[in-house]
Chains A and B, each alone.
Chain A
């Protein structure tokens, strides 16, 4: 991850592409975009040295709104693409982003193994406890009693998935929660996540104001964690037992060695890359 921080003059807005987001007015993802650009400016990263890979969903539309190298991949597959990119181009700062459906339903297995593999990158999941893009179905993080989708008129009645618990159990090296209601705090968490070696997971609370309008109140429910991050996974696990899902800040900073296989071949020019596809 040790990348030259070379662009001191760039402001947060310089990392935006200028494309107007399609999100609903009030969607939490606007503030996440804000937080990511603030973090990149704080780290003074050259935009060309940053790559953002996403899956599919409202939240996964993030890459086109940033002026970095972006890849809008297939549903649930942001992490394998980002993993491949990072291990073949370790000098890049690689970010992956997406939603709770993308990352924990269809991409759930990738999430677990990305934590375990511990490649040096940062994964931001914008959790709104719903499939926003497909008009409001329950996701793994949805409360079992939530009955506002026609698909689950009595709620899912299946207990919710706890991303931080899974991340810790699977071996993520950095685990934090942030909220779109506090873009500055979220930016700080993203900075720390990017700086920390290995797989960093940022659980980003980001309301879907259209299908979960009650989430507008999340900004009143969130509160900073009363204790500093721990380096001890056992302590982190105990803290998670009393987590109310609204504690913000960094929970865990591990010291596992990131996975980075030895590079076998590299391509410097696009023409060399294209040549590989010729018959």
Chain B
């Protein structure tokens, strides 16, 4: 890559579909080739441990993401205070999917609660579409605008059979 000011390196960074030289192109082959290239870039990027925050241990796990992580953490602290260890898997990277990493984060888990701030349980459905989640899986989906409260998560975990 060159930066402006470097002689002979002029190119146009084009938001339109382009060929490998960066020139705009509406050819189907160029489009497919660039789609593959972008996919490869995302898939081969080394995300390291940043793909998710994994905390705690136990046979019950809560999978969540984004702003729901805070209240879930508070709920898990309540659980821990009562001597019920619970795992947190707060996913930061929604795509590309990380099947091996999630499987290893959920090793030995028998119950999974998917917590999200949404009405249609989109995150839960997304996980079910892409991953084999272990054990019994339940969903806690609460739409905004009110934040998910830690006690809602705590209640669902401690009254597992009721839901």
Which chain A residues have a beta carbon within 8 Å of chain B's beta carbons?
17, 19, 22, 46-49, 51, 56, 61, 63-64, 66-74, 85, 89, 91-92, 267, 269-270, 273-274, 279
- Asked whether, in the complex, the Cβ of A19 is within 8 Å of the Cβ of B9, the reply is no
Distance between A248 CB and nearest chain B CB, rounded to angstroms: 29
Q: Is B12 an interface residue (CB 8 A)?
A: yes
Task: Write out the residue numbers on chain B whose beta carbons fall within 8 Å of the beta carbon of A92.
Answer: 4-5
Give 1 or 0 for each of B1-37: 1 = CB within 8 Å of chain A CB.
Answer: 1111111111111111000001110000000000000
Partner of A270, one of B1, B12, B22, B48: B1
- Asked whether, in the complex, the Cβ of A47 is within 8 Å of the Cβ of B13, the reply is no
Task: Write out the residue numbers on chain A whose beta carbons fall within 8 Å of the beta carbon of B15.
Answer: 56, 72-74
Q: Considering the chains assembled together, what is the distance between the CA atoms of A68 and B11 in angstroms?
A: 7
Q: Is B119 an interface residue (CB 8 A)?
A: no
- Asked whether, in the complex, the Cβ of B4 is within 8 Å of the Cβ of A48, the reply is yes
Q: Considering the chains assembled together, what is the distance between the CA atoms of A67 and B21 in angstroms?
A: 13
Known pairs A63-B12, A73-B15; list 19 more (Cβ under 8 Å).
Answer: A19-B24, A48-B8, A49-B4, A51-B4, A64-B12, A64-B22, A64-B23, A69-B4, A70-B12, A70-B13, A72-B16, A74-B15, A89-B4, A89-B5, A92-B5, A269-B3, A270-B2, A270-B3, A273-B1
Task: Write out the residue numbers on chain B whose beta carbons fall within 8 Å of the beta carbon of A72.
Answer: 12-16, 24
- Range of interface residues on B (Cβ < 8 Å): 20 to 34
Q: Considering the chains assembled together, what is the distance between the CA atoms of A61 and B5 in angstroms?
A: 22
Partner of A279, one of B1, B6, B46: B46
Partner of A19, one of B1, B23, B47: B23
Distance between A80 CB and nearest chain B CB, rounded to angstroms: 14
Minimal Cβ-Cβ distance residue in A for B3: A270
Q: Is B50 an interface residue (CB 8 A)?
A: yes
* 29 A-B residue pairs with CB within 8 Å: A17-B12, A19-B23, A22-B24, A46-B7, A48-B6, A48-B9, A48-B10, A51-B4, A63-B12, A64-B12, A64-B14, A64-B24, A66-B12, A69-B4, A69-B10, A69-B12, A70-B14, A71-B13, A72-B13, A72-B15, A73-B15, A89-B4, A89-B5, A269-B3, A270-B1, A270-B2, A279-B47, A279-B48, A279-B50
Given contacts A19-B23, A279-B46, A279-B47, contact A49 B13 (CB under 8 A): no
Task: Write out the residue numbers on chain A whose beta carbons fall within 8 Å of the beta carbon of B47.
Answer: 279
Q: Considering the chains assembled together, what is the distance between the CA atoms of A48 and B16 in angstroms?
A: 22
Task: Write out the residue numbers on chain A whose beta carbons fall within 8 Å of the beta carbon of B14.
Answer: 63-64, 70, 72
Task: Write out the residue numbers on chain B whose beta carbons fall within 8 Å of the beta carbon of A68.
Answer: 10
Q: Considering the chains assembled together, what is the distance between the CA atoms of A17 and B23 in angstroms?
A: 10
Task: Write out the residue numbers on chain B whose beta carbons fall within 8 Å of the beta carbon of A19.
Answer: 23-24
Give 1 or 0 for each of B118-150: 1 = CB within 8 Å of chain A CB.
Answer: 000000000000000000000000000000000
Task: Write out the residue numbers on chain A whose beta carbons fall within 8 Å of the beta carbon of B10.
Answer: 47-48, 67-70
Task: Write out the residue numbers on chain B whose beta carbons fall within 8 Å of the beta carbon of A89.
Answer: 4-5
Q: Considering the chains assembled together, what is the distance between the CA atoms of A92 and B5 in angstroms?
A: 7
Give 1 or 0 for each of B24-66: 1 = CB within 8 Å of chain A CB.
Answer: 1000000000000000000000111010000000000000000
Task: Write out the residue numbers on chain A whose beta carbons fall within 8 Å of the beta carbon of B50.
Answer: 279
Distance between A2 CB and nearest chain B CB, rounded to angstroms: 15
Minimal Cβ-Cβ distance residue in A for B47: A279
Q: Considering the chains assembled together, what is the distance between the CA atoms of A66 and B4 in angstroms?
A: 14
Q: Considering the chains assembled together, what is the distance between the CA atoms of A72 and B14 in angstroms?
A: 5
Minimal Cβ-Cβ distance residue in A for B8: A48
Task: Write out the residue numbers on chain B whose beta carbons fall within 8 Å of the beta carbon of A69.
Answer: 4, 9-12
Minimal Cβ-Cβ distance residue in A for B15: A72
Minimal Cβ-Cβ distance residue in A for B9: A48
